[in-house]
Amino acid sequence: MSQQRLFKQVDVFTDRPYFGNALAVVLNGQDLDDEAMQRLARWTNLSETTFLLPPTHPQADYRVRIFTPGGELPFAGHPTLGSCHAWLEAGGQPRRPGRIVQECAVGLVELRHDQGRLSFAAPPLRRRPISATLLAQIAAALDIRSQHIEAAQILDNGPVWLGLLLADESAVLALQPDHEALRKLGHKVGVCAIKPDPFDSRLIARSSREARAFARPVPAVAPVDAAQANAPTLEVRAFAAPIGVHEDPVTGSLNASLAQWLIEDGVMPERYCAYQGQCLERDGQIFIERDADGQVWVGGHAVTCIDGHVTL
């Protein structure tokens, strides 16, 4: 029998509503079967919809199941931050102040709440080279040449991404993929490039975007801390046709695996900011930090846009 369940729609990786990545959260998902969860995920038509449940692990504060329109995920970044934001806003009390433990299909994920934003500990990364044949197929689907790709890896931290590093951000922003070709290849693809000047180039890009949007107001650059202010930044795009999402606005799991790869290989510093969503008129900002123990943290702001009930 259907019942009224607490529901929130949260915008993640932004401190301003409607400029990040939207997430639907059902706060009391008990007694819902897989079919009901999947049906709502298809109906919301968001990149992810989550369902909060009582934990089964003694160290966890809550459990979450994560669904895309096309299926369930073992882990995803923006649903992790958005679900935690919704859980805290609804009165959730972590066992340890400032530290939250989420249980999901990939295992336990630790989050911290500081500097006015949430961060999750990136799950362990497994990575390996991409074969020349697959790389050529992906490049063709992206309408670029393989030699324009500076580095490439298969990245697996629960979700599997093909990570590509291009030479400059203009090449990333100019991509117009053949999404049907990517769907047939069966791989999600994350593309990035280093932005050497995080402020001037960002303001120029936003000015161009504002003109394209008929002078629609664009938010100011979100502040970063002193350690990140002078660091290079990363421009990121995420193409996920195999799970029913042509382009994801802002992607936590991809940014986590990109950070683990690029920091480990000395391409990016241990603290930096990434930006994603410009081509979708979004303005996602992701805060990356690798701590003294080598743990990569992926952080961002979250705001609630819809607060009410859903009938399930």
Q: Where in the sequence numbering do the catalytic residues fall? A: 48
Distance CA 311, CA 5 (A): 6
> Could you tell me which residues come within 8 angstroms of residue 124 by beta carbon, excluding any fewer than 6 positions away?
157
77: left (phi over 0), alpha (psi -120 to 50) or beta: alpha
Cα 78 → chain centroid: 4
**Among 194, 196, 216, residue whose Cα is nearest residue 206:** 216
Best CA proximity match to 122, nearest among 158, 95, 149: 158
Give the helix/strand (H/E) hosting 194: strand 188-195
135 vs 250: CA distance, rounded Å: 24
155-177: burial string, b at 16+ Cβ within 10 Å, e else? bbbbbebbbbbbeebebbeebeb
